[in-house]
Amino acid sequence: MERRIFLGVKDLDLCPKRQSSVTNTAVSYPTWTWRQWKPILELYFNPVTGIIERERERERERERERERERERERERERERERERERERQRQRQRQRQTDRERESKRERERERDRDRDRDRQREREREGD
C-alpha cells in the first residue's frame, strides 16, 4: 500500500515532484513510500533535533544578540548624554564663578573710585579753606 504525503515545503528537492492540480502549493510525491520519507521528514521537522527547529533557534539567538547589542548601544548613548550634561553643568559652574569674580572686581573698582572721589572732595574742601 502506497502512502501519499502532501507538503507545502518546496525546499525538499529530493525526488521528481508533481504540482497538485487542485491546489497550487501542495506537492505530492507518489513514488516514495512512507518508510523512505520518514527519516527525511524527521530530519527537517522533528521539534527537538530538526534542521528547521535548529535554524529557528539560531535565528532567535541572533535576534537576542541583536537586542543585547541595541541595549548596550542605548546604554552607551545614555552614558554619553549624562557625560554631556555633567560637562554642561561644569561649564555653567565655571561661568557663574567667572561672573562672580568679574562682579566682585567691578564692585572693588567702584569702591576704589568712590574712595578716590571722596578723597579728592576732601582735598578740594581743605584747599578751599
pLDDT tens-digit profile of 61-74? 999 999 999 999 99
Q: Is the pLDDT of residue 8 over 60?
A: no
Q: Is the pLDDT of residue 24 over 70?
A: no
Whether the CB-CB separation of 5 and 22 falls below 8 Å is answered with no
- CA dist 114 and 29 (Å) reads 110
* Residue burial 66-102, b: 16+ Cβ < 10 Å; e: rest: eeeeeeeeeeeeeeeeeeeeeeeeeeeeeeeeeeeee
- Cβ neighbors of 20 (< 8 A, separation 6 or more) are 6, 26, 27, 28
